[in-house]
Amino acid sequence: MARVLVIGGGIGGTATALALHKAGFETVVHEAHPDSAEDIGAFLTLASNGMRALAQLDASAAVTAIGFPLTSLRVLDDTGTEQAHAPMGEVSDPLLRYRCLRRGDLSTALQAEARRRGVPVRHGARLASVEDGPDGVTAHFTDGTTATGDLLIGADGLNSAVRRSVSPGTQPCYAGQYVFYGYTRTASPPGTDACITMVRGSGAAFGYAVSPDGEAYWFARVTGDPLPAEELAQGTATGRRDLLLPLLRKDATPAADLVAATGDELLVTNATEIPTGTPWRSGRTLLIGDAAHAASPATGQGASMALEDAVVLAKALRDAPDTDNALALYETLRRPRVEHNITVSGNISRGSHTPSATARPCDEDLARLLEWDTDLWAARHPV
């Protein structure tokens, strides 16, 4: 295998291109959006496992240059009383600390790093269809152009166009909550440096963190029927505040003041997930990241899982004797972990305490699995 097509230039797709490049494969990223900032609004946290994956891609510096670290977690009840405050993640290693940052900034930073290493990122390339042939796989784009490679990676997110060719019957499902995101510089919530505060409110689950320059990043998860498509696409910040504030004003916490102080940077989305057990691959095409295993945001692991995907996939292709074995190895290693996350995160969003049907993978093996010099094939097939 010589040439890999990556469809999707977001976090998972660009990280996969970086990993494949490091493993020695020729890789081109095709991104539908006309520029790098395809999602400038919502923010995310990269957990220590995601930061560990970035370190294996030699991309830590590109990411620690943006956003800010989080080293502790504080929990408040609906009266504003602190219930817990503890270290979070691998605090002792600066490269592995949790990091809070805007999704668009992360995508832009990773794309800049890809270009710096000579990995092409082609913008405005919207996928129309995938054609799998005996000698390669061809991506057909809506502008009439095509690209052919030995393998096509679908990293094009929740509403993946690649997934239509791999598993046309698979559709994202509502996970039981809708989620608001916002920012404000005009409210000063109580807290400590490098801390994320989670509020167990009576009407919504709320969280916030304050950047070193005083900007508060916040989110709220609300259980209920999904918001209609027109609200998601055309709703205003004022309407969204009016929808959320009555739920928060029931409680004596900083949440309502933060939302009330937020201007136009206020987003809302329905939490969705991909059902477990759905196909990830067909012929020379493989789905990764949210295209394969999107989870509700309750565990905050979506981006970190995509970064893990990137490292494990590149290593599997590097170490296995052929592509078929590499893709089978990748799926064997990744499916238990990501589907456990889908189940746990979905249970949180739906308020269910049903145990996960998938056994939780052992985290003790994760560092060795991600370690770049570990031979994945040899580890699974000892002589």
Quick: pLDDT tens for 190-210: 777 899 999 999 999 999 999
DSSP strand pairing (173-184 vs 266-273): antiparallel
- DSSP-assigned letters across all residues of 252-320: SSSHHHHHHT--S-EEEEEEEEPPTT---EETTEEE-THHHH---GGG--HHHHHHHHHHHHHHHHHHS
Q: How far apart are CA 139 and CA 115, in angstroms?
A: 21
Q: Structure tokens of 83?
A: 């219930």
H/E stretch holding 181 reads: strand 173-184
Nearest to 299 by CA among 56, 15, 86, 46: 46
DSSP strand pairing (26-31 vs 146-149): unpaired
- pLDDT interval class at 132 (50, 70, 90): very high
- This prediction has a pTM of 0.95
Q: How far apart are CA 215 and CA 205, in angstroms?
A: 20
Is residue 99 a contact partner of residue 59, using CB atoms and an 8 Å limit?
no
Higher pLDDT, 167 or 365: 167
Nearest to 49 by CA among 334, 276, 260: 334
Q: Which residues pair with 337 in a beta bridge?
A: none
Q: What is the pLDDT of residues 297-326, one digit of tens each?
A: 999 999 999 999 999 999 999 999 999 999
